[in-house]
Chains A and B, each alone.
Chain A
């Protein structure tokens, strides 16, 4: 039993890397989602074209290839990234592309009458977006953002391939050193699952908090 406790330390370290990647990747994904999602809705053709190209490209190519490109090809043109930077970049851009469509759909789900109220109250385009449309649209986006975050969490395992010591990487280490496959992989299976549960629980409670008062329940 004593030997496992040392390996457990490795797994915990791996879990911390996975959590770090997930959080940083999610922040980048969220930023990209809003940039590209709003770009898709822009009046300006150039912005629409840029956003569409980004979304289609990153949805249409594999996260695996994107990661290898960031880590192995970018250095060839002088952009050196650490494994963590390459991981965050690839994961954030990839999931951001999916989430951009969630942003667009959320904004479009807000009825015309809300836009008309903004015009009648003489709010500028951006003011109306910022104070009226987006706060309501965000609530529509949240559940799908939760899905996206879990997708991102699971996709972090590919970074083990560029030698970033995340959960999956550490499980491989433990397996190599002990010859035991069942224990390390069962362990990280459970850990991924718990992390995903925490994510969906977090998103759901945020959703409940933001929805307070909208349904007529006394606040």
Chain B
């Protein structure tokens, strides 16, 4: 990463409250293109909210976000910064894909239809082309033989791999993974993590992961951010954060996680 490369995500002093509960309070951070970023921290620390804000599932109360050089929640019109309208948001969403903790597959559509729906509707792809691309993606996540199956026939790990293929079908530059293995039985976690390794090797996407898999975060991420109460308490290379955390809160959190049986 050269010093001249511009960040692909630039978050500048954003805040977000749910009622009187302040989730994010003047948060700023940057993510470089191709960077793999792990967001860790106790629940309620705001890490999932950041992903949801980047996917426009939550609005911000204040601050600015730039994605790929363009404002996410604002539009520049005649030198003025106006709130983004639905068209601007739709344009910005093309850059980002998201995978959810509970998969959120469409239960009434087969595996392949789950993957082809959005490219056909939003990019005007013809069915034949969309299905060809979908089969390549399903092959990549090891689900090609289940293309005709319905989601209800799949295991959790299989569902999540389909959900990843579905998000990839729109060819986003940034992928957001929100606790994608948290809802899985332990023996199914690895098949999903293997897909992430494959994405890392075969694509140059920027990836943000909210995860409780500390071992995976350590091995996979270029940089780890530790969140607590809506702020970044500590950030650094995985080795620094996991082996040698400087902040007391980070140490406390990792101690609890290790006590709960997670490998670091």
**Complex CA–CA separation, A117 to B93 (angstroms):** 12
Residues on the B chain within 8 Å of A113, using CB: 100, 102, 104
How many positions in chain A have a CB within 8 Å of any CB in the partner chain? 22
B153 contact from A135, A136, A139, A216, Cβ within 8 A: A216
- With A113-B100, A121-B122, A127-B121: A216-B106 Cβ-Cβ less than 8 Å: no
Cβ of B193 under 8 Å from chain A: no
Q: Do the beta carbons of B90 and A124 come within 8 Å of each other?
A: yes
Residues on the A chain within 8 Å of B251, using CB: none
Residues on the A chain within 8 Å of B97, using CB: 120
Which A residue sits closest to B91, measured CB to CB?
A122
Which A residue sits closest to B90, measured CB to CB?
A122
Q: Do the beta carbons of A214 and B107 come within 8 Å of each other?
A: yes
Q: Do the beta carbons of B98 and A123 come within 8 Å of each other?
A: no
Interface string of A194-219 (1 = CB under 8 A from B): 00000000000000000001111011
**Complex CA–CA separation, A124 to B123 (angstroms):** 12
For the side of the interface on B, what is the size category?
Answer: 20 to 34
Q: Give the residue among A121, A135, A139 with the most B Cβ atoms within 10 A.
A: A121
Q: Do the beta carbons of A218 and B153 come within 8 Å of each other?
A: yes
Cβ of A116 under 8 Å from chain B: yes
Q: Do the beta carbons of B104 and A119 come within 8 Å of each other?
A: no
Which residues in chain B, 48-65, are within 8 Å of chain A measured between CB atoms?
A: 55-57
- With A121-B170, A136-B107: A116-B118 Cβ-Cβ less than 8 Å: no
Interface string of B108-122 (1 = CB under 8 A from A): 101000000110011
Q: Do the beta carbons of A120 and B167 come within 8 Å of each other?
A: yes
CB distance from A208 to the nearest CB of B (A): 14
Q: Do the beta carbons of A122 and B94 come within 8 Å of each other?
A: yes
CB distance from A207 to the nearest CB of B (A): 13
Residues on the B chain within 8 Å of A119, using CB: 55-57, 93
A-B contact pairs, 29 of them (CB 8 A): A114-B104, A116-B57, A116-B104, A117-B104, A119-B55, A119-B56, A120-B55, A120-B100, A120-B104, A121-B117, A121-B167, A122-B90, A122-B93, A122-B94, A122-B118, A123-B122, A124-B90, A124-B122, A132-B106, A136-B108, A139-B108, A213-B110, A213-B152, A214-B108, A214-B152, A215-B152, A216-B152, A216-B153, A218-B153
Supplied contacts A117-B100, A119-B93, A122-B122, 4 more A-B pairs, CB within 8 Å: A113-B102, A121-B122, A131-B117, A214-B150
